Amino acid sequence: MITSNKMKRWIGWLIVLMILLLAISFLSLMIGPVRIPLTKSISLLAQKLCFWKSYPLENTPAAVILFKIRIPRLILGMVVGAALSSAGVILQGMFRNPLVEPYTLGISGGAAAAVGLVIVAGLSGTLTQVIPLAGFAGAIGAAILVYFIASSGGRLTIPTLLLTGVIVSFLSSSLIMLLMSLAKGEELHGIMFWIMGNLQETNLSFIITVSLIILIGIFISFLFARDLNALVLGEEEATHLGIEVERTKKILFILASLLTGVAVSASGVIGFVGLMIPHLIRGIIDADHRFLLPASALLGASFLVGADLIARTIISPRELPVGVITGIIGGIIFIYIIRKRKVEFRW
Amino acid sequence: MVGIDKDILLEIRNLCSGYKRKNILKGIDFLVRRGEFWGLIGPNGSGKTTLLKSITKILPAQKGNVFYNKKDIMKIPAKQLAQKIAVVPQVSVFHFSFTVEDFVLLGRIPYLPRFYLEGKNDYRIAEEAMGLTETISFRQRRINELSEGEKQRVVIARSLAQKPTLLLLDEPAAHLDIRHQLDIFNLLEKLNREKGITIILVSHDLNMASQYASQLILLNEGKIFARGSPKEIINEENIWKVYGVKVKVTAGIKGNPLVNLFK
């Protein structure tokens, strides 16, 4: 039967993507200033998982590096990559354009400005949830601002939307620079480090909060996969297919802002992940959002973990912000898509 | 009274509708019975497309009501309405590269709960729709690779996958050559006669409309200027009054009025 064939193909690809994620994850656990061999990582992980708290954790440097540094970083890379790609899928589906994503729409910038504000105000230490909440608030503020400015002329067009996104990004980065010039020494360092996009975060309860919000956000987005399939036909046609377009758009906007805001609050501004990954999956495998969403989340996770691996090893012992790597790769792909779309109008 | 007529599918009462700054429809009353084939004609800006959009809730009425099967459409959830009314738009823009089959399956969206993949029944209905529109032979091809005529048949197939009782079409053949125009109109006739689908068709082509539609509505400046059989509507006087064009109406081969344009 045809249904099961499509299903089989999807599941097959999802398994491939999971294996890829697993492989990259182990690589990122092994490689670094201190090399931890594969067997060692696996045995340490097995110990931790099997004996959990009943067994005192081995107190070797390898174990400390693995559990205190590399695993938190790996988890953060996975959820941030997945969140940004999923937000990209949602926004691209809503606006029927492959150049739209959290970064190009200024949503990441808005989130960053709000988080910067909270850090400078000295509120960051109060509660684990304050920072992600600030990220979400900034993201949704920027999203609403961009949407209303871009659609104020009556009809919303993609160039206006992108241009407005760029302007909101400029505004946000000016605000961040203002905050930085007002900040005291240690805060300044905190903002600087975070703003460039990096995954060094060791506060476990923060990582768990962020991961949970992102996983829930992706799950809810998945429930709207069919609505996104209808929306790519256009808003009127989606209405003809029984979608309550205005309500659905609001929910999707909130979801994309939530995913972006929380990801940015954890890792700073990491651009273009949400642009590249969905484009790649759509082009190579399938454009159906029921597949596109989970597949992009998986590939986004692998991509960011891989990019982070490059960022922290390429000029070792020093580290690059991972945003630099994604920015360079993503910028090139952005230009490529623009050039290609002149010739043919297809995703 | 018309209110107790069981065959009434769509009833439009004193409908006023339009856009923010522009009121286009000024009091439309219109009854459609099951199985009818209506043609909507009229000059540009007379409100044909606005009327279609008002029937599908794209444009909410400013005054008056639209009833589907005696129920006010504003009170019918979008999903339920999509199981009854399907629309073939004037132009479809394909931003994506779905295969023909996947595209037709999108017509099953109103019937599927959130979590379900299309089942056997959905595939059967999609296949039937592709069979009727003769698109099944290229079901695995990408929609962007098709010719204009093929694309339009695929769009009609998707609307048929919705299993509609009422099919609305907005100039479905406007961009096609005469052969593909005939294909589309013959298909509509078949759907109307064999499947009992009620059709409302917007057309600029007076001769096509009068050949295929059993009844016509002539719109002018947001009002119904005349309604009736093609023979009653298509005459030199009406066309002069509405379009401001002098034409010669003769009898066509099948006895339908035929509009002849001349310099």
- Which domains, and CATH codes, for chain A? 87-342 (1.10.3470.10)
Alpha helices in chain B (DSSP H): 48-55, 78-82, 100-105, 120-132, 148-161, 178-194, 206-212, 230-233, 236-243
Tokens of residue A87, six digits: 């937000």
Mean pLDDT of B211-215: 94
Residue of A9, A240, A285 to mutate when probing chain B, most B C-beta within 10 A: A240
For residue A2, list chain B residues with Cβ-Cβ distance below 8 A.
101, 123
Predicted confidence band at B83 (pLDDT cuts at 50, 70, 90)?
very high
Alpha helices in chain A (DSSP H): 2-30, 38-51, 61-64, 71-95, 107-120, 130-151, 158-182, 185-195, 204-223, 225-231, 235-240, 245-267, 273-284, 289-313, 322-343
> Is B56 in CB contact (< 8 Å) with chain A?
yes
Closest approach of chain B CAs to the CA of A109, in angstroms?
Answer: 28
CA-atom Rg of chain A in angstroms: 20
Say what the pLDDT of residue B18 is: 87
CB contact under 8 A, B106 and A230: yes
CB contact under 8 A, B114 and A223: yes
Q: Which residue of A has its CA nearest to B120?
A: A3
Closest approach of chain A CAs to the CA of B232, in angstroms?
Answer: 33
CB contact under 8 A, B81 and A234: no
Q: ∠B229-B231-B233 over CA atoms, to 5°?
A: 70
CA-atom Rg of chain B in angstroms: 19
Residue of A233, A239, A285 to mutate when probing chain B, most B C-beta within 10 A: A233
> Is B43 in CB contact (< 8 Å) with chain A?
no
pTM for this model (two decimals): 0.89
Say what the pLDDT of residue A343 is: 39
Say what the pLDDT of residue B85 is: 96
Which of A229, A237, A347 has its CB closest to that of B89? A237
**Does pLDDT of B70 surpass 80?**
yes
Residue pair A111/A260 in contact (Cβ under 8 Å)? The answer is yes
Mean pLDDT of B6-25: 88
Q: How do residues B140-149 score in pLDDT, each as one tens digit?
A: 998 888 988 8
Say what the pLDDT of residue B192 is: 96
For A17, B124, B185, the CA distances from A10, given in Å and listed in that order, are 11, 21, 39
> Is B57 in CB contact (< 8 Å) with chain A?
yes
Residue pair B29/B61 in contact (Cβ under 8 Å)? The answer is no
For residue B81, list chain A residues with Cβ-Cβ distance below 8 A.
242
> Is A157 in CB contact (< 8 Å) with chain B?
no
**Does pLDDT of B21 surpass 80?**
no
**Does pLDDT of B17 surpass 70?**
yes
Say what the pLDDT of residue A341 is: 64
Q: How far is Cα A141 from Cα A147, in angstroms, rounded to an integer?
A: 10
ipTM of the complex: 0.89
For residue B92, list chain A residues with Cβ-Cβ distance below 8 A.
233-234, 237
Closest approach of chain B CAs to the CA of A217, in angstroms?
Answer: 16
**Does pLDDT of B1 surpass 60?**
no
Residue contacts between A and B (CB atoms, under 8 Å): 83
| B-contacting residues in A 230-289 (Cβ below 8 Å) | 230, 232-234, 236-237, 239-244, 282, 287-288
For residue A96, list chain B residues with Cβ-Cβ distance below 8 A.
95-96
Q: What is the pLDDT along chain A (347 residues), one digit of tens a residue?
A: 455 788 899 999 999 999 999 999 999 999 988 888 888 888 888 887 776 655 566 678 888 888 888 999 999 999 999 999 999 999 999 988 888 899 999 999 999 999 988 888 877 666 667 889 999 999 999 999 999 888 887 677 778 888 899 999 999 989 988 988 888 777 777 777 777 777 887 788 889 999 999 999 999 999 999 999 999 988 899 999 999 998 999 999 999 999 999 999 999 889 889 999 999 998 888 889 999 999 999 999 999 999 999 999 988 888 888 888 998 988 888 888 778 764 333 44
